[in-house]
């Protein structure tokens, strides 16, 4: 029974490891533990519980030991754009537009040395070399597909996006056109 009491006492002591613990040895050899001073008792030094800290991961240790240039090259090799989005929205329709603005939204901003290529229906639009915004003047009717791609200086793709927009140009020859009614004829004069 005394072993059970001793184990319970030790577990209680372990939970209150930062409190001072006292022990008194009785005449029969048993020990009495308390968190309060006991007559004839002595304070007991309880060692803190053994803990374990994982060593730093080998990649972070290696990264901190690498030269700055090498770390920058690794960061550049792992770089990606978090947002790469074209406007107009996919399947957006324009009726008789004089112009349509095409723009690419990026996050983070375009890095120096990265090459941006925008194509409209498979061809580069006029004056679009590296521009984030392109204006199409008087686009033809029909559907138009826009693609954007960014590559780093090594040719590795970092971002790609595509969208399709539609241009409608209704005309007088539209099949939905209803022929106007002829104007009413003036009344005939009645003979007297």
Distance CA 30, CA 23 (A): 10
Distance CA 98, CA 153 (A): 37
Contact 84, 159 (CB under 8 A): yes
Tell me which H or E stretch contains 11: helix 2-15
Positions of CATH 2.60.40.10 in the chain: 83-168
Distance CA 57, CA 59 (A): 5
pLDDT values of the chain reduced to their tens digit, one per residue, 192 residues: 566 565 566 555 555 445 688 888 888 989 888 888 888 888 888 777 788 777 766 555 456 677 888 877 777 777 888 888 999 999 999 999 999 999 999 888 888 888 888 899 988 887 656 678 888 888 998 999 999 998 888 888 888 999 999 999 887 665 555 667 788 888 887 776
N-terminal to C-terminal alpha carbon distance within the chain: 142
The domain made up of 83-168 has a fold known as: Immunoglobulin-like (2.60.40)
Distance CA 52, CA 11 (A): 20
Q: Tell me, what's the pLDDT at 87?
A: 92
| Among 61, 132, 64, residue whose Cα is nearest residue 102 | 132
């Amino acid at each position: 029974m005394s072993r059970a009491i001793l184990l319970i006492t030790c577990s209680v002591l372990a939970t209150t490891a930062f409190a001072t613990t006292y022990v008194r040895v009785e005449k029969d050899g048993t020990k009495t533990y308390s968190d309060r001073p006991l007559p004839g008792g002595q304070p007991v030094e309880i060692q803190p519980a053994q803990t374990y800290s994982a060593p730093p991961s080998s990649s972070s240790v290696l990264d901190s030991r690498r030269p700055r240039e090498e770390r920058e090259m690794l960061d550049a090799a792992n770089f990606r754009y978090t947002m790469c989005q074209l406007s107009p929205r996919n399947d957006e329709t324009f009726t008789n537009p004089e112009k349509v603005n095409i723009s690419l939204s990026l996050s983070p901003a375009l890095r120096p040395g990265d090459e941006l290529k925008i194509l409209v229906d498979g061809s580069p639009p006029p004056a679009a070399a590296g521009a984030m915004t392109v204006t199409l003047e008087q686009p033809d009717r029909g559907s138009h597909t826009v693609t954007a791609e960014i590559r780093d200086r090594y040719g590795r793709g970092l971002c790609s996006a595509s969208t399709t927009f539609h241009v409608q140009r209704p005309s007088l020859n539209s099949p939905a056109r209803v022929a106007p009614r002829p104007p009413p004829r003036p009344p005939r004069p009645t003979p007297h």
